[in-house]
Amino acid sequence: MTRWLLPSLLVASIAVLLAACFLGSTPMAVPRVLSALVGGGAAGDAIIVWQIRLPRALAAYVVGAALAISGAALQGLLRNPLAEPGVLGVTATASLGATFSLYYGLTALSVWVLPLSAIAGALAATAFIAMAAIRIRHMVTLILIGVGMASFAGALMSLLMNFAPNPFSLSDMINWMLGSVANRGLDDIALAAPFMIAGLALLFATKRGLSALTLGEEAAHGIGLDLRRQRLAVIAGTGLATGAAVAIAGGIGFIGIVAPHLVRPLTGHDPARSLLPSGLLGGVILVLADIAVRLLPTTSELKLGVVAALIGAPAFVWIAMRRRAHG
């Protein structure tokens, strides 16, 4: 890893989080924001900075970091730069859990029902994939199972939207599926934090195994790597981290592909060394995308998932084309 990579990404992370405090739909002069940040100034300025802009930026950052680290780990496990959290169906099933609670009006019971439903959906998918990983020897089969789960979850979400009891429920389901960190607070981050921390801890614990897998599964097994345990750890970690990310922001795609791909050449194409830089870059990218969402002169605010897809989808095609050309 180049010496300047991590320091540069840390500086960039602080810079974009500060920029998110200064930039928004409500113009604020620099002295007003600085005064609010240090605890002075008008009460209204402090509310805008500390209760709206900064929590929103932090939500975007942790979601981007979790998705990027999950993507880097999956790419190392599958040895495929096109892998990302959605490839195992975890993102789709987490979104399904959230839309299910919206459809049946369970969100009226408590503000915690929606994020907990998303986490429950992710954990259910993770448990299923983990059981499949124990019995399946080839990762291609596991990928196909994940694609099938994602398609089935997407079909169920479409069915729920088709039978939405009223336009308000339909609007809520669509907004959740499109992804956003608007109106997210520290409480939302705190609720998802235990699941996200547990998932990321599992992924970082697999670093040595991810490095060994660059030699191939047979060679990695020959030097003592327990392939089954490695698969379970990566899949469980991805499920927990992705479920927590969906619980905060809804469906956000492509960050798990783009950030690891940009970092990989700078870390010697070692997936273990790519985890932390990918997370930092993923957070930076998603905060920048959210700043763009707030600044674009549209009649209604674009959804973060839409902007992330507009950035990530062309990058996905470019990565796929380069991979085919090199192949």
Domain range annotation of the chain: 5-326
Other Cβ atoms within 10 Å of 80 Cβ, number: 15
Give the DSSP letter of residue 254: S
Which residue in the block uniquely carries the two structure tokens 């609720």?
A: 191
Predicted pLDDT of residue 206: 95
Rounded to the nearest 10 degrees, the angle between the axes of helix 5-22 and helix 271-295 is 20
5-326 belongs to which homologous superfamily? ABC transporter involved in vitamin B12 uptake, BtuC (1.10.3470.10)
- Residue 139 has a pLDDT of 66
Our CA angle for 253, 312, 200, nearest 5°, is 45
Q: Please state, in angstroms and rounded to a whole number, the distance separating the CA atoms of residues 256 and 279.
A: 9
- Inter-residue contact 117 to 101 (CB < 8 Å): yes
pLDDT along the chain (327 residues), means of 10: 88 96 85 86 85 95 97 87 80 89 86 83 83 73 84 92 84 85 90 92 95 87 88 88 90 90 91 95 96 86 88 79 64
DSSP string, 44-113: HHHHIIIIIIHHHHHHHHHHHHHHHHHHHHHHHHHT-TT--GGGGTHHHHHHHHHHHHHHTTGGGT-TTH
Nearest CA-CA partner of 64 in 263, 241, 185, 237? 241
Please say whether the beta carbons of 67 and 255 come within 8 A.
yes
Residue type (1 letter), 275:
L
> Model's pTM, two decimal places?
0.90
pLDDT of 70 reads: 94
122 phi-psi bin (left φ>0, alpha ψ -120 to 50, beta other): alpha
pLDDT given for residue 327 in this prediction: 53
Alpha-helix residue ranges (DSSP H) falling in the chain: 5-22, 30-37, 43-47, 54-78, 90-103, 113-135, 139-162, 167-178, 186-205, 207-213, 217-222, 227-249, 255-263, 271-295, 304-326
Tokens of 2: 């180049």
The span from the CA of 184 to the CA of 28, in Å, is 21
